[in-house]
């Protein structure tokens, strides 16, 4: 009897007894956030802890929904909502620096100086936003 308890070839939600398995034969639910399979009776995902829906979700749709969920993004990065906002703003400002450099071409010295001033302004905005994100980040308790 002690040896049977050490077998780990069965999934944790499927019974070992085949006669009981026929009674519990249900299709697993796919988590809309992390695409992990959970038993049909589960209320929460065993992988990410999110509340499971009754509607089956495709893996592509669930990954996209997981990426767009702001709360999950903040949890993965370890940032509160205010810090996440300023972090995203800083990244957008850095992208604007690259876009200004790629879109505008300078024919004269005055054009070149104007482009460089725009790029410096975007870089300063990125630095300010990233600094605000760092300052608004809550201290983690150790």
How many angstroms separate the CA atoms of 89 and 95, rounded? Answer: 10
pTM score: 0.50
Rounded to whole angstroms, how far apart are CA atoms 19 and 85? 53
Nearest to 32 by CA among 5, 59, 2, 8: 59
Q: How many domains does the chain have?
A: 2
pLDDT of residue 16: 58
Q: In this structure, are residues 64 and 91 in contact, taking their beta carbons and an 8 Å threshold?
A: no
Same domain for 55 and 88, yes or no, is no
Whole-number Å distance between alpha carbons of 139 and 132? 14
Give the pLDDT mean for 58-64.
61
pLDDT at position 47, please?
A: 78
Among 20, 42, 68, identify where a domain stops: 68
C-alpha span between 132 and 137 (Å, rounded): 9
- 80 and 63 in a common domain: no
More confidently predicted of 4 and 75: 75
The domain of 57 spans: 4-68
Does 128 lie in the same domain as 91?
yes
Last residue of one domain, picked from the residues 19, 50, 68: 68
More confident residue, 88 or 5: 88
């Amino acid at each position: 009897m002690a040896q049977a308890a050490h077998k780990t070839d069965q999934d944790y939600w499927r019974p070992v007894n085949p006669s009981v398995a026929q009674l519990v034969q249900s299709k697993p639910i796919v988590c809309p956030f992390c695409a992990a399979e959970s038993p049909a009776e589960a209320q929460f995902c065993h992988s990410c802890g999110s509340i499971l829906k009754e509607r089956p979700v495709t893996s592509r749709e669930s990954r996209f929904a997981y990426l767009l969920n702001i709360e999950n993004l903040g949890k993965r990065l370890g940032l509160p909502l205010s810090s996440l906002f300023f972090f995203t703003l800083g990244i957008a400002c850095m992208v604007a620096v690259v876009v200004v450099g790629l879109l505008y071409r300078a024919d004269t010295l005055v054009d070149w100086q104007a482009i460089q001033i725009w790029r410096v302004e975007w870089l300063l905005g990125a630095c300010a936003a990233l600094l605000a994100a760092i300052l608004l980040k809550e201290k983690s308790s150790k």
